Amino acid sequence: MAEHEEDPGFSPGSGRGDAGEDIPLLSAPDSDLAVHLVPLRRRHLRSVLRIEAQVYPRPWSLPLFMSELNLRTSRAYIAARVEGVIVGYAGIMLAGDEAHVTTIAVNPAWQRHKIGSRLMARLVRSAMAQGARHLTLEVRMSNLGAQGMYRRFGFEPAGVRKNYYAETNEDALIMWAYDLHSPAATARLAAIEAGIPGATIDGASPPDPGCVEP
């Protein structure tokens, strides 16, 4: 993802979840999991930055997240919450009939429990609802896990950006999912959603105090 090139020196520090709780332990089977998908808000960012620092060599900074959240007409950011604690987040940038996945991440302790798939499914639906026909992203060549998830969603390799991740001298694979509204694509998305165990609950997130809603 492009924007993770920013602010290499930023350290989010340590802290607890946005709800003031530690990350809940995965004690129940995935079939009992209830994941809430809510609009990402400023108050979630402390939790988000903790995850950022764990999963990206060059995490986004707080100001960068804030500026992204302020771009209300061209961005859509969501957070995944379990028992009130942020376990993942994702976002897209909208540009005409194309949308660009800017970030997607899941707390390492929660990976491989379909949190990423829930977030991606929601991003795709959000892009479609905003008029996008195609969806693109960049991913590290070495990130085969993420690429596996993207392929499930119909993303196909379309090119390489040489040395895109300069800090690790790594190329980016550009992937596209075309024709999101086609019968094949919508059937694939519905099948992915139907195959996710547990509950996915779409929820509104009240605005942050002082935020101007569109």
Ligand X SMILES: CC(C)(COP(=O)(O)OP(=O)(O)OC[C@H]1O[C@@H](n2cnc3c(N)ncnc32)[C@H](O)[C@@H]1OP(=O)(O)O)[C@@H](O)C(=O)NCCC(=O)NCCS
The catalytic site residues sit at 138, 150
Q: Minimal distance in Å, beta carbon 104 to ligand X?
A: 5
Task: Pick the closer one to ligand X by CB: 162 or 212.
Answer: 162
- Closest to ligand X by CB, 143 vs 186, is 143
Q: Interface residues with ligand X (CB under 6 A)? A: 1, 55, 104-106, 111-117, 139, 143, 145-146, 148-149, 152
| CB of residue 106 to ligand X, shortest distance in Å | 4
Shortest approach of ligand X to residue 214 CB, angstroms? 27
- Taking the least distance from each CB to ligand X, the nearer of 5 and 208 is 5
CA distances from 3 to 15, 52, 58, 131, 194 (A): 24, 12, 9, 23, 31
The least distance separating ligand X from the CB of residue 43, rounded to whole angstroms, comes to 21
What lies within 8 Å, CB to CB, of 173 at 6+ separation is: 138, 139, 140, 141, 147, 157, 159, 160
**Whose CB is nearest to ligand X?**
116
Of residues 134 and 208, the one with the C-beta less far from ligand X:
134
